[in-house]
């Protein structure tokens, strides 16, 4: 089964490859995924919906890469300071710093909270990219208010 740290490292390696099946394998059936800058009402729950949510921002990129950083574990809680390089199909590239909080139980991530700067995306994405998100699949939306 491995340690909580192993689970988090495996999750992010899978995400860096955009291996959606492997990402789903690293999260529990009731895992909550929350992009904290956009709030608890736009969370996703469970492997299928978490993958749908991740695809909204990452699937259309020409390239995506996670860069390892500081990883600190305290029992089932793992904090990970890292960054991502986003490359858009129109050529724009930028590095997005992240801090992520995970809870890992029985080898699966059960809580995944990402903290990042929304302005960094808004200031670096190509024209129209953010507006295009309004047309994305939102069947994944879960209101996690009161659960975190």
Q: What is the mean pLDDT of residues 67-74?
A: 97
Please give the distance of CA 40 from its chain centroid, rounded to a whole number.
14
SS3 17: helix
Work out the number of other CB atoms within 10 angstroms of the CB of residue 53: 24
Q: Which pLDDT does position 113 carry in this prediction?
A: 98
Q: What percent of the chain has pLDDT over 90?
A: 90
109 close to 29: Cβ distance less than 8 angstroms: no
**Domain extents for the chain?**
4-133
The pLDDT tens digits of the residues spanning 5-55 come to 999 999 999 999 999 999 999 999 999 999 999 999 999 999 999 999 999
Is it the case that residue 124 has pLDDT exceeding 90? Answer: yes
Query: Is the four-CA dihedral 39, 143, 139, 76 of positive or negative sign?
Result: positive
pTM passes above 0.85: yes
Does 134 score more than 90 pLDDT? no
Residue with tokens 């909550």: 32
For residue 105, pLDDT over 90 is answered with yes
Q: CATH assignment of 4-133? A: 3.10.450.50
Query: What rounded mean pLDDT belongs to the chain?
Result: 95
Tell me if 7 sits within 8 A of 18, measured CB to CB.
no
> Residue 3 has what pLDDT?
96
Relative to beta strand 27-35, strand 63-74 is: unpaired
3-state secondary structure of 112: strand
Q: Please work out, in degrees rounded to the nearest 5, the angle formed at the alpha carbon of residue 98 by the alpha carbons of 83 and 49.
A: 105
């Amino acid at each position: 089964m491995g340690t909580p740290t192993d689970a988090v490292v495996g999750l992010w390696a899978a995400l860096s490859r955009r291996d959606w099946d492997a990402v789903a394998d690293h999260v529990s059936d009731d895992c909550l995924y929350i992009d904290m800058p956009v709030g608890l009402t736009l969370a996703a729950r469970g492997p299928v919906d978490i993958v749908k949510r991740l695809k909204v921002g990452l699937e259309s990129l020409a390239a995506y890469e996670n860069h390892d950083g500081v990883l600190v574990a305290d029992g089932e809680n793992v904090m990970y300071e890292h960054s991502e390089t986003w490359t858009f199909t129109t050529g724009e590239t930028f590095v997005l710093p992240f801090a992520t909080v995970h809870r890992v139980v029985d080898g699966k991530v059960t809580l995944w909270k990402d903290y990042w700067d929304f302005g960094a995306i808004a200031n670096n994405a190509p024209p129209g990219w953010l507006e295009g998100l309004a047309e994305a699949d939102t069947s994944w939306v879960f209101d996690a208010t009161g659960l975190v």
